[in-house]
Amino acid sequence: MVGNQRRVLVTGGGTFLGDNITAALLGEGAEVTLLVRPGLEDRLGALGQRVRWWTADIWDVASLRGRARGHGVVIHTVGSMTEDHAQGLTHHRLNFVSARNAATMCISDGVPQMVLMSSAAAPWISRSYIRSKREAEDYLQRVGVKSAVIRAPLAYIRGQPRPAFYELMTLLGSIPPTSWLGFGKIAPMPIDVLARGVARIALEPQRTNAIYTAADLRRRNQRHELAKPLMVGETPGEQPRVHPFDLLDDEAPFGWVPPSDKRR
């Protein structure tokens, strides 16, 4: 089965990353389905009225069967930078196992393409976390899933306060010559820029890369989108209107982790 390229399923509904990418896809005119962990349905808020959504447990392969059928792309955003060894929630389980199950869903449901949200390796990010992401990337290659890997930096919401260190890293990543020395790939970037870049890569009919970095995400944003927090689909000078990003809950958590009382 070959799905419609503009029908996209996003894992991680109700999270910071999953919901922002969903909003960006809506801004591009895509038809979006969200996978939401049972119990997190209320976190979708108004966004839940704009998309189709299913409840499913990414760590339970049986609950995923048929959820992606008819879609052209699956964007996998589930994972976490924080381990909880007391609950058996290691980086391997949170990031590799979830990606493996998403890939299995793609294969069983006949989805031709998968986009994996991975991570850029930065000094301030756990090596164990990065290793689990690289293991997920390698797995997709081994099983033959046609995939695009997004090695994204940390993301933030423009205008909200954040530690001075990350403010400095963002500055160093945006101006030469430091941006040419590797800072451009690892410096934190605005979530709207990241989400637009991912959405536009996912919807491209033909992709030229297997791995995309922060530079690729920026190139898929227009100059005015990079310069200010212009909402998805907005053009300079137009009248204010409701945009998909306006529907988001800024307090949604970054990751999507199993319930603490489960140890599968």
pLDDT, tens digit, 9 for 90 and up, residues 194-228: 999 999 999 998 888 999 999 999 999 999 898 86
pLDDT of residue 54: 93
Q: Measured between alpha carbons, how far is 249 from 256 in angstroms, rounded to an integer?
A: 15
Which tokens sit at 119? Answer: 């991570």
**Which amino acid belongs to residue 118?**
S
Distances (CA, A) of 171 to 154, 184, 186, 222: 14, 9, 11, 19
pLDDT of residue 7: 95
Which tokens sit at 156? Answer: 């933030």
Q: pLDDT tens, 113-154? A: 999 999 999 998 999 999 999 999 999 999 988 999 999 999
Q: Which CATH class is domain 4-155+191-231+242-247?
A: alpha beta
Phi, psi of 173 (to 5 degrees): -80, -10
pLDDT of residue 4: 76
Q: Measured between alpha carbons, how far is 4 from 6 in angstroms, rounded to an integer?
A: 5
Report the predicted TM-score, pTM, of the whole model to 2 decimal places: 0.86
Q: Which of 135, 52, 55 is nearest to 98 (CA)?
A: 135
pLDDT of residue 108: 95
Strand partners, 150: 117, 212
pLDDT of residue 233: 44
Strand partners, 34: 10, 53
pLDDT of residue 264: 35
The neighbour count for residue 195, using CB atoms within 10 Å, is 28
- Over the chain (264 residues), the average pLDDT of each successive run of 10 is 77 92 94 92 87 93 94 95 88 96 96 96 94 97 93 91 83 77 86 96 90 95 79 44 56 52 40
Residue ranges covered by each domain of the chain: 4-155+191-231+242-247
Q: Which of 1, 105, 3 is nearest to 54 (CA)?
A: 105
Phi, psi of 183 (to 5 degrees): -65, -30
